[in-house]
Structure 1
Amino acid sequence: MRRGGLHHVELRASDLAATGRAWAWLLGELGYEPFQQWDAGRSWRLGDLYVVLEGAPLGGTNDRRRPGLSHLAFHAGDAAAVEHLWTSAPDHGWSRLYEDRHPHAGGPDHHAAFLEDGERFKVELVAG
């Protein structure tokens, strides 16, 4: 545990089943392990950090372009690992973003894949 490090991230989904499948695949690929599960949610853990996905108690939609959280960025391994995730993501509930600029949508010296799930949660998978 490091002071100032993230303890957990909690996301709310309108379709917990579909969103849960997408996140279970992605987090599993990144080395997270299932941590907790209950009727209205589940979580995955990697070291001291865990990611929670819960069903939203109120209606509405997420839009990363409005004020609020834009995206989560994960260290995803080397360039080959990022490409594997980019290639496999559509089969697991993720849409590719910025395909015309992939893998340098974050700039010429930044190798990453940008994805969005069905709830419009965006992730950036950074090659290290």
Structure 2
Amino acid sequence: MLHHVELWVPDLPRAAGEWGWLFDRLGWTPYQHWERGRSWRHGETYVVVEQSPAMSGECHDRMRPGLNHLAFHAGSRDHVDALARAAPTHGWQPLFADRYPHAGGPDHHAAYLANSDGFEVELVAA
């Protein structure tokens, strides 16, 4: 089982707003809060967003080696569709919109989104 994921971000207030909106809609709860970071928890797993002074770059590029995306169970197809519609007003832009909701294949209902910092999420319907 995954313990946690830590994402370094260039702008903590913006990232906390974007990730916070998403995690709230996915049923995650706020977990930790400190000057340079926030985290949200679901069961025993948590995700951290942190603006670390040790960052060596300014932006994340999902197309470079490293993290491409995080995929989350997102409930029903209707819930995924509602999240996909609301996401742009919360800093998340659709990816593969021309193939929505089957960009992952004809039997896979999911929304692919990217936030202001270039992090991609896949919201998978049950």
Bucket of the pairwise TM-score, normalised by the shorter protein:
over 0.9
Please give the alpha-carbon distance, in whole angstroms, between the structure 2 residues aligned to 1:107 and 1:31: 26
Please give the alpha-carbon distance, in whole angstroms, between the structure 1 residues aligned to 2:18 and 2:25: 11
CA displacement at 1:120 relative to structure 2: 0.3
CA displacement at 1:93 relative to structure 2: 0.8
User: What does residue range 41-80 of structure 1 map to in structure 2 within 5 Å?
Assistant: 41-57=37-53, 58=55, 59-80=57-78
TM-score computed with the length of structure 1 as normaliser:
0.94
5+ residue gaps, structure 1: none
> Which residue number in structure 2 is paired with residue 81 of structure 1?
79
Deviations 1:47-100 (A, max 9, x none): 101110000322321100011110000000010000010000001111111110
> Which residue number in structure 1 is paired with residue 24 of structure 2?
28
Please give the alpha-carbon distance, in whole angstroms, between the structure 2 residues aligned to 1:61 and 1:33: 26
Write the letter of the residue equivalent to 1:49: T
Write the letter of the residue equivalent to 1:70: N
Please give the alpha-carbon distance, in whole angstroms, between the structure 1 residues aligned to 2:96 and 2:33: 33
5+ residue gaps, structure 2: none
- Identity within the alignment, %: 56
User: What does residue range 113-128 of structure 1 map to in structure 2 within 5 Å?
Assistant: 113-128=111-126
